[in-house]
Amino acid sequence: MNKIKIGIIGGTGYTGVELLRLLASHRNAELVCITSRAEEGIHVASLFPSLRNHYDLSFEDPSKADLTKCDVIFCATPNGIAMKHSPNLIDAGVKVIDLSADFRISDVDIWEAWYGMEHACPERLSDAVYGLPEVNREAIRKATLIANPGCYPTAIQLGFLPLVENGLIDASSLIADAKSGVSGAGRKAAIGTALCEVGDSFKAYSVSGHRHLPEIKQGLQLLTKQVVDLVFTPHLLPMIRGIHATLYGKLVGKGLEMSESELRQIFVERFDSEPFVDIMPLGSHPDTRSVRGSNHCRISIHRPQGGDTVVILAVEDNLVKGAAGQAIQNMNLMCGLDETSGINNVALIP
């Protein structure tokens, strides 16, 4: 079988180097082009010595690179870039997987309000498929443009999904207390992500409103006729990778009558055939390291003290299931490959 020709736009960030790490062991994919305005001409292994002997490729200027020779393009760019490149690429027959937020929100007004810029191609929003395979697998297979979900939204939607779908919790009073490793903030020169500022410390941020809020609400709203509302509190962990979402829902209706074990069973059944969603045994507390470098989302379900609040714990690696791994999962689906190809490695413990 011929290898799929891959291009990466904007490969100098953490999602870019994670794509490179995972694609290096993907048997059916071959990187043929990677771009970066700032690092043009630099060998990828000069920037990331971990890639030495794995790639022989240098960054190209995006305006000069011939990206249409690719079968699939990953946009690992800051918000606002992919929406400029994608229309031409798609029209040229290239499949595009956007890891930024440009195509995640279907309502352009909401997108523009939260992202503070004008959308470059609102007419393409309806073509974009939200790349959460556990919800949209069949649509993803046929898609030409994927809006790869945000890191927080992936964990939070997967954690709430079976309860919201089945009307077991009050969708209008959800709470997501989420914690992320610093790599979620991207690779950039900034005091706010310096080791001396965020190491050995912990804090919340953007409590008044984080850009992933409308994405989460949109995703959950599609699952229920109830009005969805959410308090979403992001926090910054003194570590590199990993998201832990602690989710709170008020049990209602049948949910109130279900034991912890029965609630867990709802999850087991919903995700039974999912290769990357792992429902932990009763009483578990998944740790983020159990998914470090892997594409799994591990979830456990609690009903503390038998009260009317269900507590869901969901962990993922923000750079894998929360970004590059899920993007490759989407590529595998779009290209008719084994869904787990290249992303079925074991997490790095310790």
Among 26, 95, 124, 179, binds its own copies (CB under 8 A): 179
For residue 253, which amino acid is it? G
Q: Which is nearer to its own copies, 231 or 268 (CB)?
A: 231
| Least distance between its own copies and beta carbon 152 (Å) | 14
Among 11, 293, 322, 325, binds its own copies (CB under 8 A): 293
Q: Which of 101-109, 138-146, 324-332, 338-346 is the region at the interface with its own copies (rule: CB under 8 A)? A: 338-346
Interaction residues for its own copies, span 213-232 (CB under 8 A): 213, 229, 231-232
Interaction residues for its own copies, span 48-87 (CB under 8 A): 48-54
CB atoms within 10 A of CB 56: 11
Among 154, 294, 295, 326, binds its own copies (CB under 8 A): 294
| Least distance between its own copies and beta carbon 68 (Å) | 28
Tokens of 133: 């395979």
Among 88, 126, 201, 261, binds its own copies (CB under 8 A): 201
Q: Does 197 bind its own copies (CB under 8 A)?
A: yes
| Least distance between its own copies and beta carbon 307 (Å) | 7
Q: Does 237 bind its own copies (CB under 8 A)?
A: yes
Q: Does 262 bind its own copies (CB under 8 A)?
A: no
* Residue 80 Ramachandran class (φ > 0 left, ψ -120 to 50 alpha, else beta): left
Cis check: omega of the bond before 286, within 30 degrees of 0: no
Kindly list the strands in the beta sheet with 309-316, ordered across the sheet, starting from the edge strand earlier in the chain.
203-204, 230-236, 174-180, 243-250, 309-316, 297-302, 277-279
Among 38, 92, 117, 349, binds its own copies (CB under 8 A): 349
Interaction residues for its own copies, span 122-141 (CB under 8 A): none
Please state, in angstroms and rounded to a whole number, the distance separating the CA atoms of residues 339 and 344. Answer: 9
* Element housing 33 (H / E): strand 29-35
Interaction residues for its own copies, span 6-45 (CB under 8 A): 14, 17, 20-21, 24-25
Q: DSSP string spanning 55-124?
A: ---B-B-TTTS-GGG-SEEEE-PPTTTHHHHHHHHHHTT-EEEE-SSTTT-S-HHHHHHHH-S--S-GGG
Interaction residues for its own copies, span 309-328 (CB under 8 A): 309, 311, 313, 315, 319
Angle, helices 14-23 vs 325-334, to 10°: value is: 50
Q: Which residue has the tokens 């997108």?
A: 111
| Least distance between its own copies and beta carbon 326 (Å) | 17
Interaction residues for its own copies, span 146-175 (CB under 8 A): 173, 175
| Least distance between its own copies and beta carbon 140 (Å) | 22
Q: Which residue has the tokens 């929003």?
A: 125
Annotate 216-284 with three-state secondary structure: HHHHHHCCCCCCCCEEEEEEECCCCCCEEEEEEEEECCHHHHCCHHHHHHHHHHHCCCCCCEEECCCCC
Q: Which is nearer to its own copies, 219 or 234 (CB)?
A: 234
Q: Which of 104-112, 264-272, 308-316, 331-339 is the region at the interface with its own copies (rule: CB under 8 A)? A: 308-316
Helix/strand/coil for 290: helix
Angle, helices 260-270 vs 151-165, to 10°: value is: 110
The answer to whether residue 151 is catalytic is: yes
Which of 33, 75, 121, 151 is labelled catalytic? 151
| Least distance between its own copies and beta carbon 63 (Å) | 24
Residue numbers annotated as active site: 151
